[in-house]
Structure 1
Amino acid sequence: MKHRLLYILLIFSILCAACGDDLKFGPNPGFVIPEEPAEDDPKEDDDLEISYPDNREIVESIVYEAGKDSHIYFRIPALTVTKKGTILAFCEARNTKADFYEGNEEKFPVVPVGSTKDLGDIDLAVKRSTDGGKTWDNMITVVDDYNNTCGNPAPVVVESTGRIYLFWCWGRYPNQLESKFVSSTSDGHTRRVFYCYSDDDGQTWSTQYDLTSRLKKGDWSWYATGPCHGIQKQLAPQKGRIIISANHRDNGNKDNYSHIIYSDDNGSTWQLGGRTEIGGNESSLTELADGSLLINMRRVVKDTNGNDLPSEYRTSAISKDGGITWGKSVVNQDLIDPGCQGAIVNYPINKSLSNTLLLSNAHHSSSRSNLCISKSVDSGISWTTPLVIWSGRAAYSDIITLQDGSVCVIYENGSGKFGKANPNEQISFYRVPPSLLGDKLNL
């Protein structure tokens, strides 16, 4: 009996040492997240024909609103649609200090954690809509890690199975500010890369899987997934490849890059893809009609001392090998941008990839405002701006198409409900139904 007790204590000590204090994910210190899921892949789904109400009206709704759903405010939206046609609207649900918190304290349900908006208690949330974005179900918390940060949602749906993957990044409070990672003063902690998944149309979510050792190089400092939807390639080369856009900073020279994460086995394993030239940041990608990839990026411009300069425009690059290598980055002077995230999608013709691309961003050279949809009919070489969605303060967004041809945008915006207008007051949804595509987007 004595030897058995000693054996149990020895095993317990080994397990404690193995877990260590590296992550402390959640309220249970030492809980280490596994790298690979044990669950089997779901069976393949049959194709479904989806239809949505179309009364020749633009569908507009508020999805998340500051001070609601037990959180101070909401940022960083991402959008996808399931095999069943349910629209999923992801975001960061923040209990941090919003720009408009002071002077409006009584309007918020909790006291913020930390003294900055990007530092502290940030959860990942999703809302579901089964009527084309007119109404939204109650908020579902996908990930909540106490006062730590869980952010940068990047969802993607597997075409054959319907499984919904959600990639995101984790940072420890209070040492996960981007500036601390860049300057190597984050007490040795690192931005970590996770994913989870849903097999029931986004209603419930799996445990969290840590792929940091596989998807992040040791000399990289800052790291972020998306934030926006991912894609699955429809054409060769690498037909069926699932791809998530991401970005990082090299710790040695502090330069910004965009890169990709990919899977060639429906998400069973994930690999690190290629990175673009210096100057890429938050990015979104789409497949072109010839099977190549186009990545469109927030542009980072620096002076000789390494200080950020106004970006003014967006930038893009092409990959001919499924994202393993990228060509020269090109500045898109038709796409003015204040230095903000944006999103891109291929608009299919007769359910096939086309030369028509749509992009959502804050279409302004210096201010986060004027949320627009821009259109290219030559695979991203040139752009026009046919539709203004919100002319006031606006910032991050995502854009997708539905099976019936609708174009959907989710975006941050504000009109001054807490005083001076702020783009982080709410997250709104906008859908152009098929009957209005000609009038609104000349499609």
Structure 2
Amino acid sequence: CSLTLQAQSSTTPLLNDGSKTTFLTFQIPTNGEKTLSSVEFSGSKHLKDIAEISLTHHRKTGNRLFATRKTIANSFALKGSLNLPAGNHLFELTISLKSSANLLHKISLQPTKYNFSDGTTKKIDHISSRPQRLAYPIHKRGDYNCHTFRIPGIARSKNGHLLAVADMRYNSRRDLQGHMDIGLRISKDSGQTWSPPRAIMDMGEHGGKSQDQNGCSDPCILVDEETGQIFVAACWTHGKPGTHQWRGNGSEPGFDIDKSTQFIVVRSTDHGATWSKPENWTKKLKDPSWHLFAPAPGNGITMKDGTLVMPTQGRDAKGLPFSNITWSKDHGKTWHVSNHARDNTTECAVAELSDGSLLLNMRDNRNRADKSGTNGRAIAHTKDLGKSWVSHSTDHSALPEPVCMASLIADPYRKGTVYFSNPNNKRSRSHMTLRRSTDDGKTWSSQILLDTKGGAYSSLVMIDENHLGILYESSVADMIFQKIPISEFNEETSEKPLIQSLFKGERFPNIVVSKEGTLIATWGNRHIRARRSTDGGSSWGPEITITNPGFQGGGTTVDETTGDILAFVEENHPPANIFIYRSSDDGLTWKKETPTIRPDSQGHHPSMHMNDHGTTLRHGKYKGRLIRPTRFYAGKNDREKWPEHYTNAIYSDDHGKTWQTSEPFPENGTGEACLVELSDGSLYYNSRVHWQERPKNTRRREARSTDGGHTWKNFRIIDILPDGHQHRSYGCMGGLVRLPIDGQDILIFSNIDTPNATREQGTVWASFDGGKTWPVKRLILPGPSGYSALNAGRPGTPSEGYIYLHAETNNGSRVARFTLDWLKKGTLTGDGNIPSTPK
């Protein structure tokens, strides 16, 4: 049976309360009418946590339940009888967990085989799904007679209990003004179970106004690690219906409760069991000229010397936002407000570094418009409790954001280690991610994706020496709690690349990363297809047909100006008509176009056959130009024609409508190629060779361009880089990418590296000086391999920090995800040096 199954599993928290969650969706294609009789699965050792599992067939005329099962073993089958006409059929696998399921468990499930009633069967070699983490639902919409929980804060009390605070928004999800209190849930078993929620800050009908004109919001929880006293601060708006404290006159200068939003605090001296009446701290903290002064939601800290520090925020005399801190050296008897750390910032988080200074990490309103490389959290540090602030080295660079509250805490058990959580996406509140730094926030070496589809506000807590807790707004519930072993950060950054099967049959790989951070792998020399990954390559969606038939693709290009993705397809074996298939929706759909391509100075039109991805130039006179490698194909692929082939490029200054063919590469007999733009705006070009009667005939060729890719100069044979298997000089298409690190020209190259007569041993090389030297290589795909393509993850998306190789293997393709650190530990070539820290 020639059928194949395609599946996608995003990273989604699984609630341990018995509610149903989609675990996996997949397609089963049928060549004709068939009756599905069973689907077999295998999974992790924790499948006994599953209370029920169901498989449903989705269709426009109504969904059909295929099978349900309640007894789950590590291997099992879902059996039923379902007639399927010819075509692709979408199935959804849903699971519900037992309420006793341990939060440290993960659930992994993969289809292994499906069977039809006529006896045909299909074994599934690989499905790209990943283990899913369990979560406790702190609140789901409508629970406990409350519409929504929002704005999390969490801390560990001195006796080891976890205290989770949040807005209890009774009537709607919207912000102040409205009927809302500050609620509390307590866990006495490290987050496995939680007490029912109760209000600890409720202004009732103060001043004779209704509950919906006495709302409290944005809690910040702080535990005095020496005395055990707990403070929960929030802002209270009295009256002012239909206003918001961050806009216009929603909060005004002065102290009057009818005009200015108030700074309110409750305290507990018995680990959260009972709480004081609300205390109004507005007059002792707020500058009367300011429109607003409020706690920043999340958590405060106790410094090593006992100083209490609460992150705060406000609007100055002009109504403009700022971030700062408020601190106490006498266990909360008196408090001091610092100078502003930054303007046009709001919600912030604070952590003490190993040298005793404070790091303040701030939501920055400038990021609403800035989606470029300077999008990122505003970060400052102080050594004098906020009298003076210095911009941090990672300010507006290391931690992208969609403009959203985030969390930052220091690890008291590991010097220099801090953790950060936020939606790792510049454009939307999705991809909730945990990051770890082991050098006081200078670099963020590892990350864990928690929720692909959701994630907004979050708050972190150290549960104990070995576990981190996170309370956050998720895609599966208003607010959930998850428990993460610290050891998982080491697992996420382990040396082993992630290698997955991607396509079956045919040939010719490409891979690009869209402006949204979506990986789009293309494939085919008759049926041109694509698969997408929105979670950095952890899982892949079903195949999408770009065109069928179509001879072959290559040179897929992302227009960095418009966001469009251009796939190039020839009608048949070159020379042939060339078409562009354009996607304007992140690779989901493709529309055929007929471009105008002008010939080179010799009158030759280019062929697409078969080159690595194109690029958008980002520097200098030709900024915005699209360029991709091509070749002149001198008739059929006969040996006598090889000396007439040559490599070149095509470029477009109107987003792909018209193209100009460049001048030929300096050497004939060259073929499939790859190119990148360097940091100075010049282009580096690396080409395959077809013709064997020449010196060093099994080495790659290079040239460079300083005129936007029209002419190619400085030809060189690259002694260190092989071109295909070394017993002959037929060559092999390779991949090339420049890593997206400003001011650095770190290039990665891929090809096979073998003296044998077969294409095998897929290998990657690194250059740290723009292709002048290639000091290190590493085998990544042992065994059969062939044509390959490369790309690099996009900053501010789940793909950030990864390098992606898409390569031919036996009867299909595989994609490998790896890091530069992994590659740097490979075999030294003797060609140059690896810098200890790339410049």
TM-score (normalised: structure 1) = 0.74
- Residue 184 of structure 1 deviates from its aligned partner by 5.0
2:404 alignment partner AA: C
- Show CA shifts across 1:205-257 (max 9, x none): 111111101111112113331201100111xxxx21100001111132x3221
2:239 maps to which of 156, 161, 173: 173
Whole-Å Cα distance in 1 between the matches of residues 327 and 438 of structure 2? 27
Query: Secondary structure of the residue that 1:402 maps to in structure 2?
Result: strand
Question: Which amino acid is 1:344 matched to?
Answer: L
**Which residue of the partner structure matches residue 293 of structure 1?**
358
1:391-406 map, 5 Å: 391-406=452-467
Distance 1:441 1:216 in 2: 45
Q: Is the 8 A contact 2:451 2:475 kept in 1?
A: no
Give the structure 2 partner of residue 268 of structure 1: 333
- The 1-side partners of 2:358 and 2:197 are apart by 34
The alignment status of 1:85 with 2:160, answered yes or no, reads yes
Q: Give the C-alpha shift of residue 280 in structure 1.
A: 2.2
In the alignment, is the contact (CA less than 8 A) between 1:338 and 1:364 conserved in 2?
Answer: yes
Greater shift in the superposed pair: 222-231 or 80-89: 222-231
Residue 280 of structure 2 aligns with which residue? 210
Aligned with 1:411 (options 456, 463, 472): 472
CA contact (8 A) 2:147 2:170 kept: yes
Q: How does 1:15-164 map to 2 (within 5 A)?
A: 60-98=135-173, 116-145=174-203, 146-147=211-212, 148-164=214-230
Q: Aligned with 2:471: secondary structure? A: strand
Equivalent-residue separation in structure 2 for 1:435 and 1:222 (angstroms): 42
Distance 1:91 1:248 in 2: 20
Counterpart in 1 of 2:563?
none
1:386 deviation in Å? Answer: 1.6
**Structure 1 contact 387–441 (Cα < 8 Å) conserved:** no
Query: Could you tell me how far apart the structure 1 residues matched to 2:226 and 2:493 are?
Result: 31
* 8 Å CA contact 1:56, 1:436 repeated in 2: no
Q: 2:401 aligns with which of 337, 341, 352?
A: 337
Out of 359, 372, 376, the position equivalent to 1:313 is 376
How far the C-alpha of 1:181 sits from its partner, in A, is: 3.1
For 2:294 and 2:271, locate their aligned partners in 1 and report how far apart those are by CA, in whole Å.
Answer: 25
How far apart are residue 54 of structure 1 and its match? 9.1
Describe the shift of the 1:226–1:171 C-alpha distance in structure 2 as closer, same or farther (beyond 3 A): same
Secondary structure of 1:131's aligned partner: coil
Q: Deviation at 1:63?
A: 0.8
Match of 1:43?
none
Match of 1:374 in 2: 435
What pairs up with 1:188-267 in 2 under 5 angstroms? 189-234=259-304, 239-252=305-318, 254-267=319-332
* Corresponding residue of 1:281: 346
* Separation in 2, partners of 1:274, 1:315: 16
Letter of the 1:121 counterpart:
H
1:433 aligns with 2:514: no
In structure 2, do the counterparts of structure 1 residues 59 and 404 end up closer, same or farther at CA, with 3 Å as the change threshold?
farther
Which structure carries more relative contact order (alpha carbon 8 Å, separation 6+)? 1
The sequence identity of aligned pairs, in percent, is 26
Amino acid aligned to 2:432: L
Deviation by residue 1:330-351 (Cα, 9 ceiling, x = unmatched): 6242211000000101123xx3
2: distance between equivalents of 1:133 and 1:403? 11
Using the TM superposition, give the Cα deviation of residue 60 of structure 1 relative to its aligned residue in structure 2, in angstroms: 2.1
Larger-Rg structure: 2
Q: Secondary structure at the match of 1:189?
A: coil
Kindly provide the CA deviation profile for residues 56-80 of structure 1, in whole angstroms up to 9, marking residues without a partner as x.
Answer: 6665211112101121111000000
Aligned partner of residue 214 in structure 1, secondary structure? helix
> Are 2:286 and 2:292, in contact at CA under 8 Å, matched by a contact in 1?
no
Contact 1:376 1:383 in 2 (8 A): yes
In structure 2, the residue matched to 1:326 is: 389
Structure 1 Cα separation of the partners of residues 287 and 364 of structure 2? 22
The superposition leaves residues 160-189 of structure 1 with CA deviations (integer Å, 9 ceiling, x where unpaired) of 221111111111233451323368599961
Question: Contact between 1:120 and 1:174, CA under 8 Å: does it hold in 2?
Answer: no
Q: Which amino acid aligns with 1:409?
A: I
Q: Which amino acid aligns with 2:234?
A: W
- Matched letter for residue 484 of structure 2: V
Q: Count how many residue pairs are aligned between Structure 1 and Structure 2.
A: 351
In structure 2, what residue type is equivalent to 1:432?
I
Is the Cα–Cα contact under 8 Å of residues 322 and 345 in structure 2 kept in the other structure? yes
Whether contact under 8 Å (2:312, 2:323) holds in the other structure is yes
Taking structure 1 as reference, are residues 150 and 87 closer, same or farther at Cα in structure 2, changes over 3 Å only?
same
Decide whether aligned partners of structure 1 residues 91 and 333 sit closer, same or farther in structure 2, where only a CA change above 3 A counts. same
1:441 and 1:271 map into 2 onto residues whose CA distance is 41
Q: Secondary structure at the match of 1:240?
A: coil
Q: Is the 8 A contact 1:310 1:366 kept in 2?
A: no
Residues 346 and 121 of structure 1, relative CA distance in 2, 3 Å threshold: same
Distance 1:184 1:436 in 2: 47
SS of equivalent residue, structure 1 residue 333: coil
Q: 1:364 is matched with which residue: 425, 446, 450?
A: 425
Is contact 1:310-1:339 (8 Å) kept? no
More strand by share: 2
Report how far residue 409 of structure 1 moved: 0.7
- TM-score, L = length of structure 2: 0.40
| Deviation sequence 1:287-317 (CA, Å, 0-9, x none) | 0000000000101229xxxxx6347311110
**Secondary structure at 1:78's aligned position in 2?**
strand
What residue ranges of structure 2 are gaps of 5+ in the alignment? 1-101, 107-132, 204-210, 495-839
Give the match's secondary structure for 1:317: strand
Is 1:386 aligned to 2:386, yes or no?
no
In 2, the alpha carbon distance for the partners of 1:188 and 1:173 equals: 6
How far 1:281 sits from its partner (Å)?
1.2
Structure 2: distance between partners of 1:432 and 1:409: 8
The DSSP-based 3-state class of the residue aligned with 1:394 is coil
**AA partner of residue 137 (structure 1):** S
2 CA distance for matches of 1:161 and 1:336? 37
Q: Is residue 347 from structure 1 mapped to residue 411 from structure 2 by the alignment?
A: yes
SS in 2 for 1:365: coil
Deviations 1:16-41 (A, max 9, x none): xxxxxxxxxxxxxxxxxxxxxxxxxx
Unaligned runs of 5+ in 1: 1-52, 99-115, 303-307, 416-424
Letter in 1 for 2:270: D
1:169 and 1:225 in contact (8 A); partners too: yes
RMSD: 2.4
Q: Measure the CA separation in 2 of the matches of 1:78 and 1:159.
A: 17
Question: In the aligned structure 1, how far is the partner of 2:423 from the partner of 2:184?
Answer: 23
3-state SS in 1 of match to 2:284: helix
SS in 1 for 2:225: coil
Shift of 1:121: 0.6
CA contact (8 A) 2:252 2:259 kept: no
- Residue number in structure 1 paired with 2:659: none
Change (3 A) 1:182 1:300: farther
Residue 249 of structure 2 aligns with an amino acid whose one-letter code is F
Task: Call closer, same or farther: CA 1:375–1:436 in 2, change over 3 Å.
Answer: closer
CA contact (8 A) 1:152 1:226 kept: yes
